[in-house]
A and B are shown apart, each in its own frame.
Chain A
Amino acid sequence: DSGVTQTPKHLITATGQRVTLRCSPRSGDLSVYWYQQSLDQGLQFLIQYYNGEERAKGNILERFSAQQFPDLHSELNLSSLELGDSALYFCASSVGPGTSGRIEETQYFGPGTRLLVL
């Protein structure tokens, strides 16, 4: 158990719908990362927040948005869902902002949310 929790574990929805994925980081971690993993694309970095502020942006679609709240939990909002959005969505957390090689930059991954868009 990494200490990172994600809800829900599974989500089935229809095209055009909107869903919200939630992530609670490990106690004391300030960074939250979101990743998407689909069968044909591998692991893709979406976005990182550090202490409430957006820190880095990856291949995140405009239909997707995220935020980190004052209590440091984070939500990933996916809207106008398409079949191709079906994937495993991981959240990870770390103590630091991610730019050094120190131990506090180690990312701990949650169990993921499996999204199926029908």
Chain B
Amino acid sequence: KNQVEQSPQSLIILEGKNCTLQCNYTVSPFSNLRWYKQDTGRGPVSLTIMTFSENTKSNGRYTATLDADTKQSSLHITASQLSDSASYICVVRRSNDYKLSFGAGTTVTVRA
């Protein structure tokens, strides 16, 4: 079973609307959690990195939250644009062996 589960698998939203993506993990012991945006056929681009003590981190219209107690994170996209259409990947790092565990990603499609 994957140690990082993302939901939904995919979603379609209208331009200008907001959306929230979820990431639940069982990775332990926890080091940090990252959100990436990946356009088809291109390398991922880092959006946020959060450690245990951080609850919220923003990068422009992207806001990530982390609840280390419940092992849940979310990525909120505000006022979506067509360029937000991409796959969003949640990655959790373990603190003992530094191994990275990837979620399967959420594919977001923004329509005009």
User: What residues make up the interface of A, taking CB atoms closer than 8 Å to B?
Assistant: 2, 4, 33, 42-45, 48, 55-58, 88, 90, 92, 97-102, 105-112
- Tell me whether B43 and A105 are in contact (CB under 8 A): no
Selected contact of A109 from candidates B43, B93, B97, B104, CB within 8 Å: B43
User: Chain B contact residues: over half helix, strand or loop, or mixed?
Assistant: strand
Chain B residues 1-43 with CB under 8 Å of chain A are 31-32, 34, 38, 41-43
User: What residues make up the interface of B, taking CB atoms closer than 8 Å to A?
Assistant: 31-32, 34, 38, 41-46, 49-51, 54, 57, 89, 93, 95, 97-105
- Tell me whether B102 and A42 are in contact (CB under 8 A): yes
Q: Which residues of A contact B43 (CB under 8 A)?
A: 2, 4, 90, 92, 109-112
| Nearest opposing residue in chain B for A94, CB measure | B46
- Tell me whether B45 and A56 are in contact (CB under 8 A): no
Q: Which of A42, A101, A109 has the most CB of B within 10 A?
A: A101
Give the distance in Å from the alpha carbon of A44 to the alpha carbon of B41 in the complex: 15
Q: Which residues of B contact A56 (CB under 8 A)?
A: 97-100
Selected contact of B49 from candidates A4, A58, A105, CB within 8 Å: A105
Selected contact of B46 from candidates A4, A90, A108, CB within 8 Å: A108
- Tell me whether A101 and B104 are in contact (CB under 8 A): no
